[in-house]
Amino acid sequence: MMIKIAVYGKGGIGKSTTVSNIAAALADEGMRVMQIGCDPKADSTSSLHGGKRIKTVLELVRQKPGNLELSEMVTEGYGGVVCVEAGGPTPGSGCAGRGIITALEKLEEMGGYEVYRPDVIIYDVLGDVVCGGFSAPMREGYADSVFVITSGENMAIYAAANIATAIENFRDRGYATLGGIILNRKNVKDEEKKVAEFAEEFHSSIVGTLDRSDLVQQAEEMGKTVVEAFPDSEMASQYRTLAKAVLEAVKKGKDEADAEKD
């Protein structure tokens, strides 16, 4: 059964780095992973293919209206991870969220999920805004669970709370549920306590924690994930542990939802 996950977090929180390392860790376990970048910066998947930028769906739609091939939208990266970048409008024009909606609609329209048959789909979504296209991955038919990345910094927790509130507000529509909180440590005062309190407030829990590490930047400078560049490191081990915890949380959430239906 296909597992569909959306990962949200404010800009600069380490969301794309975390998502790419989770994708790489799952690929190493033999899983077929599709990572869909839903940030207008379109850099979600770069560390999965040598730091190179791939063409976005929105760019391709503008360049080849009505003549776009599925293979042009997709690049296979490390471990066979299927990479897609939604992209955004030309700066100063259009709605950034529209790129997400266009990308998801195009993937469905062109049978992307059926062709590539991923075991896991991960939507990497900017969480500073949770409206319009940015809420699309939460909607019915897309992600099953949403995971929120935060540190103990006030602005990160504020953004995370907005995301969690949106999930709660969408609950009656059959949208994705909150799968858990990922703590990406910035080593601020009382960090774990603050994030644990935030998780408890939204009836959730911390599913994994990541330490600050120089290896993250070193790997990015190499155009790689930590899992690829430093596979035997403690940091790579943390990403692998997190990847397993995320899958377990999704499965637990599905079991609970099925039990409620019965």
Q: Please tell me the pTM assigned to this model.
A: 0.93
- CB-based contacts of 113: which residues, under 8 Å, 6+ apart? 2, 34, 107, 121
The 8-class DSSP code of residue 139 comes to: S
Quote the CA–CA distance of 124 and 213 in Å, as a whole number.
21
Q: Does residue 10 have an active-site annotation?
A: yes
pLDDT for residue 41: 82
Buried b vs exposed e over 67-101: b needs ≥16 C-beta within 10 Å?
A: ebeeeebbbebbbebbbbbbbbeeeeeeebbbbbb
Q: Does residue 128 have an active-site annotation?
A: yes
Q: Does residue 41 have an active-site annotation?
A: yes
From the candidates 41, 55, 186, 251, give the one annotated as an active-site residue: 41
Q: Where are the alpha helices (DSSP H) in 10-150?
A: 15-28, 57-63, 70-73, 96-109, 112-116
Tens of pLDDT along the chain (262 residues) come to 789 999 999 989 999 999 999 999 999 999 999 999 988 788 899 999 999 889 898 888 888 877 888 999 999 999 999 999 988 765 555 566 777 888 888 888 899 999 999 999 999 988 776 666 778 888 877 888 999 999 999 999 999 999 999 888 887 787 889 999 999 999 999 999 999 999 999 999 999 999 999 999 999 999 999 999 999 999 999 999 999 999 999 988 777 766 666 5
Quote the CA–CA distance of 68 and 105 in Å, as a whole number.
13
Geometric angle at alpha carbon 184, from 183 and 187, rounded to 5°: 105
Residue 64: which H helix or E strand, with range?
Answer: none
From the candidates 15, 106, 194, 224, give the one annotated as an active-site residue: 15
From the candidates 43, 128, 252, 254, give the one annotated as an active-site residue: 128
pLDDT for residue 59: 87
- 3.90.850.10, 3.90.1150.10, 3.40.50.300, 3.20.20.70: CATH of 3-261: 3.40.50.300
Structure tokens at 147: 């995971």
Report domain extents, the chain.
3-261
From the candidates 4, 10, 194, 224, give the one annotated as an active-site residue: 10
Residue 120: which H helix or E strand, with range?
Answer: strand 120-126
